[in-house]
């Protein structure tokens, strides 16, 4: 009855849903969609498993090893080490002899030799607090070295001072 | 030019800060103390609550760390890479086996354990993920960042003082010196000695330092008595033994204290090869041999 028929009439009076070719096409479309979802899911799952494995069993980067000139290979790093790959940096100005004025360090390179006259004995026994003085006038200054502690008390000096560089 | 200084003890060593303006002294001292506190909490081998201890306990798991700890670990690994492994942050267990397992002050008077040696597992076993701010230390590997972390603290403290207070400064942490801001006319006078606590009149050489940093390494410092003889704190990573004492002290000038300390520590470990290695890298250096013969390398000034 016309107007009540919800199905599309096919030429020749055949019902479309009932046509085997249409049914096959719908089935194929469903299979295609399902295949797509399975592929996407597999990709996500593979990525997740790969990340888990990478976190749990980290390896070494053979590329980093090959690029490292040092005797031992570079550590595996997941990010580039740009500033860290610079070599040891000499000072912009070498230390100078305070007795030679305030000139630049000079350009003489190479090695020199001499003798340290002092025999200081037990280095750990020396007192450690430094005193400031006008470096330009007296030459007193900081000492570079490493060693044991000084008294443990703090002190503040005015009027100059220097540092000591030595072992510690 | 008049300068002012403050001196105290921290991290088991002597600390000094020098400034070129009096009003900077106290705030400078507080800034240095803050930096030392931060580095201690991040990098101390002797604190259970330090980030470094947490890394060693993680048994091969990735651990997210603070930016400072990450920087210190990377400085240690970089030192290893640039010295061919002569300075290696994975010597922590080697040091512990030698008996250096607590603050040095607490070592004195204790009986050292019998000699047990373990070569460092190797810095390449440590992984860093800078993007995540994470570090992974394999099970059984213990880090010791002692040398480079102290030098890093000197660099950071000098920079903090000069930038925040806008004054010239020299920071000394156990004889590792870093300059921040402008130096006084003629430079900061520095006495280079075998031991940092020796005082300005100790045997050695006085130099002027205007830029960068200076570090001295010496097997004469931090020694403890053991049945077979004295042991000291500078370990050869290849053997796990205290380094041979070819040099009494090696002092190196560099752009940063980390680089100066890396080079001076490596020189102690390298022994006879050190002058050539330093010269190749154009690092001004002073090496004091066992017989007190002094060798200068690069642009190091001749003694007056």
Q: Closest Cα of chain A to B187: distance in Å?
A: 8
Contact status, residue B246 vs residue B267, Cβ threshold 8 Å: no
List the alpha helices (DSSP H) in A57-128: 62-67
Partner-chain contact A163 B300, CB within 8 Å: no
* pLDDT-based confidence at residue B239 (cuts at 50, 70, 90): confident
Smallest CA–CA distance from A122 into chain B, residue: B220
Task: Tell me the pLDDT tens digit for each residue of A119-135.
Answer: 433 333 232 333 333 33
Per-residue confidence band for A102, with pLDDT thresholds at 50, 70 and 90: very low
State residue B238's pLDDT score: 84
Coil, helix or strand at residue B20? coil
Report CB contact under 8 Å: A128, B14. yes
- B178 DSSP β-pair partners: B171, B213
> Residue B260: CB partners within 8 Å, gap ≥ 6?
B151, B176, B212, B213, B214, B215, B252, B253, B254
Which residues of A fall within a CB distance of 8 Å from B183? none
ipTM of the complex: 0.83
B299 and A147 within 8 Å at the Cβ level: the answer is no
Contacts of B292 in chain A (CB under 8 A): 115-119
Mean pLDDT of B8-31: 93
User: B63 and chain A: CB distance < 8 Å anywhere?
Assistant: no
A110 has a pLDDT exceeding 80: no
Kindly report the nearest CA distance between residue B199 and chain A, in angstroms: 6
- What's the rounded Cα separation, in Å, for the pair B172 and B13? 10
CA distance B266 to B222: 17
Name the minimum distance, in Å, from the CA of B115 to any CA of chain A: 23
User: What residue of B is the nearest CA neighbor of A80?
Assistant: B130
The reported pLDDT for the residue numbered B105 is 65
B200 touches chain A (CB under 8 A): yes
**Which residue, among B217, B232, B234, B230, has the nearest Cα to B287 in the 3D structure?**
B217
In chain B, which residues have their Cβ closer than 8 Å to the Cβ of A146?
13, 174-176, 195-196, 216-218, 221-222
Residue B66's φ and ψ, nearest 5 degrees, are -70, 160
In this structure, what token pair is assigned to residue B107?
A: 């070592």
Min mean pLDDT across A116-120, B115-119, B144-148 is at A116-120
Mean pLDDT of chain B: 89
Q: Which of B78, B123, B283 sits opposite A90 (nearest CB)?
A: B283
Per residue in A72-82, pLDDT tens? 333 444 433 33
**Measuring CA to CA, which residue among A131, A88, A99, A97 is closest to residue B210?**
A97
Task: Select from A100, A141, A159 the Cβ nearest to the Cβ of B200.
Answer: A141
What is the number of CB-based contacts under 8 A between chain A and chain B? Answer: 450
The verdict on B301 touching A (C-beta cutoff 8 Å) is: yes
CB B208 within 8 A of CB A95: yes
| DSSP strand pairing (B247-254 vs B285-289) | antiparallel
């Amino acid at each position: 009855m016309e107007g009540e028929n919800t199905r599309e009439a096919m030429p020749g009076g055949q019902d479309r849903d009932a046509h085997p070719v249409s049914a096959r096409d719908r089935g194929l479309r469903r299979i295609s969609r399902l295949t797509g979802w399975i592929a996407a899911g597999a990709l996500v799952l593979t990525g997740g498993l790969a990340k888990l494995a990478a976190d749990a069993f980290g390896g070494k980067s053979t590329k980093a090893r090959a690029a490292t000139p040092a005797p031992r290979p570079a550590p595996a790093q997941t990010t580039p080490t740009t500033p860290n790959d610079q070599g040891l940096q000499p000072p912009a100005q070498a230390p100078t002899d305070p007795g030679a004025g305030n000139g630049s360090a000079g350009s003489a390179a190479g090695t020199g030799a001499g003798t340290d006259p002092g025999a200081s004995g037990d280095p750990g026994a020396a007192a450690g607090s430094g005193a400031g003085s006008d470096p330009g006038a007296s030459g007193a200054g900081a000492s570079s070295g490493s060693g044991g502690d000084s008294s443990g008390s703090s002190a503040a000096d005015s009027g100059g001072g220097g540092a000591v560089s030595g072992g510690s | 030019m008049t300068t002012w200084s403050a001196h105290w003890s921290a991290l088991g060593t002597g600390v000094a800060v020098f400034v070129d303006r009096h009003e900077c002294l106290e705030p400078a001292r507080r800034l240095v103390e803050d930096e030392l506190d931060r580095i201690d909490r991040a990098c101390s081998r002797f604190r259970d609550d330090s980030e470094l201890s947490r890394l060693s306990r993680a048994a091969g798991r990735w651990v997210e760390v603070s930016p400072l700890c990450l920087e210190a670990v990377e400085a240690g690994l970089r030192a290893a890479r640039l010295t061919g492994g002569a300075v290696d942050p994975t010597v922590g267990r080697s040091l512990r086996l030698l008996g250096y397992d607590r603050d040095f002050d607490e070592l004195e008077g204790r009986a050292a354990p019998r000699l047990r040696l373990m070569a460092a597992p190797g810095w390449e076993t440590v992984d860093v993920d800078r993007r995540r701010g994470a570090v992974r230390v394999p099970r059984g590997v213990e880090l010791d960042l002692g040398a480079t972390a102290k030098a890093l603290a000197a660099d950071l403290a000098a920079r903090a003082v000069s930038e925040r207070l806008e004054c010239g400064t020299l920071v000394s942490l156990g004889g590792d010196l870093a300059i921040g801001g402008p130096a006084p006319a003629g430079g900061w006078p520095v006495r280079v000695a075998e031991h940092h606590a020796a005082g300005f009149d100790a045997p050695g050489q006085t130099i002027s330092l205007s830029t960068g940093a200076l570090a001295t390494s010496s097997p004469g410092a931090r020694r403890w008595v053991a049945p077979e003889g004295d042991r000291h704190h500078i370990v050869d990573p290849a053997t796990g033994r205290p380094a041979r004492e070819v040099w009494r002290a090696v002092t190196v000038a560099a752009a940063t204290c980390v680089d100066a300390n890396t080079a001076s520590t490596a020189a102690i470990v390298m022994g006879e090869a050190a002058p050539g290695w330093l010269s190749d890298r154009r690092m001004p250096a002073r090496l004091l041999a066992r017989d007190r013969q002094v060798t200068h390398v690069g642009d190091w000034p001749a003694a007056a």
